[in-house]
A and B are shown apart, each in its own frame.
Chain A
Amino acid sequence: MSGHHRNGELQARVNVLLALAEERGIVDREEIDRRIETLGRSVSPVNGARMVVRAWGDPAYRERLLDDAGAAAGELGFAGGGYSSEIRLHAVANTPEVHNVVVCTLCSCYPLAWLGPPPAWYKSEAYRSRVVRDPRGVLAEFGTTLPDDVEVRVWDASAEARYLVVPMAPDGVDTLSEEDQLARVTRDCLIGVAVP
């Protein structure tokens, strides 16, 4: 994966900017630590999994989720927001005819406020440049092979919306406990590179 070699240089720049901002009283390092801690405690891909599992068992919730995902997340106590209140969450549902997958080609936009930080590969130039051009090939590398007649929709999050994939429930979902259902909805399913 390209791009990682620049992290050291980037970190050094961030450190210099942070030191300057702190010196001039613009930021408070303790406040930054507190915010990072809060974020780490309150958001994780399990939030998204809870939304999906609820939607599997509750058609009315599913409808609300697809209509206004931010509000539907809020119903389960996942507030979103964070660094920008302008960021909107939008859920896209897989069906037998359509499979969705999410990317940010320009940077690494991700529903961080709801799902926590993205995996490293999501930010790699390899994923970002290839999944728009050859989504089926990239999905196959993740072990997800789709029938030819399924439409693949790639969502390139480049503005004020963040995307969450609602995968189809696996066969026999009714026989699974809620805990087992949650375990099936991995972070990769919510990005769309895997299916439960």
Chain B
Amino acid sequence: MKITTSMTPAGICTIAVIGDLDIYAAREFHSILTSDFENNLSGLTSVIFDLDKMESIDLSAMQLIMQVQKICVENDKDFRVIGRNALIKEFILLTSSDVVVEDRGSKTSVDVSSSVDIGARRQECSGCDHLYVSIRFDRQIFKYGLNPLCCLQSLRESNQILSVKLITSAAPEGLTMEPELCYFGLELTCTPNTSADEISKAFELLLDDCTLETIEPAAPLSEYALLLKTRRAEWEEVESFLLTSKTLLPDQLQVVHALSLLSASEEKNYSTQPKADAPLTENIERQQLETSKLDKLIDLMGELVISSAKNKLLISQVDNARLNESSAMMSRLVEELRETALTLRLIRIGDVFRRYRRVVSDGGQKRGKKISLTIGGGDAELDKSLAEKITDPLLAIFRHAIDHGIECVAERLKRGKAENGVINVKAYHESKSIVIEVADDGVGLDKNKIRDRAVILGLIDKNQKLSESELFQLIFKPAFSMDDKSTRISGRRDGIDFVKTAIETLGGSVAVFSEKGSGTTFVIKLPVAAAILDSFLVDVDKHLYAIPLNMVLDYIEINEKTKVEFIEQKAIRFEGEVLPLINLSDLFQAPEKSVRQKNILIVKYGRDKAGLLVDDFKGEYQAVIKPLGDILQKVRGFSGAAVIGSQELAMVLDIPGLIQSKCAKEERKFKSTTQDNDDYRIH
């Protein structure tokens, strides 16, 4: 995708798009529009979108272009879309909003109190003979890889659509919108022979993430009124479409308008059979409200756990048996309360996976591959906030499998594999983590190819020796992509570089296993609940650091009695194994060094172990983990901050990252001839 903008002195701004304008280009497109168009608005006379060389468009781009159109109309600028291809047709079809609704004045003057008339007409039939469909999408659908315009395509191919309109009222003013969210809705009318089932089928993959209402041909006016009621915020646009699509006659629209303004109690007066089921949208809203309350509850819970821990500590110092007993009782209850509260927020991971079925089947089809998604262990539960955050990384992994993993049909047959490629995703619990495995049965990763490319990119030294897992970790490096040509579905974020960082910010890790020729498996490990962490505190140069307790294997206090075998201060021997030793004080380069006797904490992550040289052990604590915030999101070595008790704060060490960078560093030191002898600074 490429966007160029040019501006003539006369104030004509031409924005030309080449290639695909999809969700991955949305943010870039948005920033180009903001800087080149919105900021120069006063000097412009006309805006031209040149879509001649564009290959595809999706709703996210439509939203932006239509917002530009809106701004142009409001500011009296000329707006044009040029090009010769079929996209333009589609574009004009969807954006034809230049219809002026007549009788707006008289409509609002409809006297609601003339109830006899309205009441009598509510059962009147609309007289139109087409199916009316109204769809509103979940804001997040683009992130699930869903494009509503694709669904429309199938209906259009069978000539079932009579007219269609994008409903734009929900979008924020101008270009202030978030480019990766879906604000638009769709209204369409279909030929009489179309059944509501066919519509559901066309939008099948979106059904979980949208509200779809259909009104049968020649339905009573009260049904349209009900629809209008649920679309209250967008009534102007919906009403104008009801007229232009010839669904309702102007006088019928007046009745519908009046009916839609009736409150529920007034409605009853007219209604002989009150409609039992409430509009779907209301349900959703209530759900969202509960979620925010739930988050508040979890937050408070976290604070309660902490203050209870502090209380317990203070009481234990008083040495009063009865007080101790009651405090122990309370701690138990708080603990129980905490566990229960945390389960409230868990959702089944199968629900998360199901969203990807479409991505997989669609993506495969576009590439001439047959791919199906199988789901295992969908019953495992995951914290809701975590589930939302892994949506993007999971999508990237699926896309990697679709683009680079599974071979096309001919290739598979040649290799004696089944025609159908399979991506299997499964989830299971492992101690306090949840593990998600995404496995494909495709080509697998080619170690030599990765190696060669890494050398070309300067990521590793030519003679550097790397273990298999280290080699595979290289594919997460930015700019690392096995294929030079960028493919449509992976788009801008070709390669899966952001997967690793995204997962690690969540306190998890990702590993890759692959066998050349038989497939690749991504293994993601995540903590079950992100909010509260059992952690081990250590002191380094008078600052506290927290380590997730499940990663602590052992601790060794160094005194006269214990004997620890150091190897050049770079490694230690522990239970017969040689472990790398990380000197945190050196790593952090604190200005004031402590002169304390050091102690060693043995940490593990997966199969990796390491020793951490610290000043002092502070013991086990429960901590509420907070992210460091957007500004510090790129900070390495730490996965967040821990709040312990009401006073103490500690940085949470990113053990997987530390071990990995340490190992990489050491290997470079031992094995390469050009030895750089600086500190253990990460990367």
Is B a genuine binding partner of A?
Answer: no
State the B residues within 8 Å of A (CB): none
State the A residues within 8 Å of B (CB): none
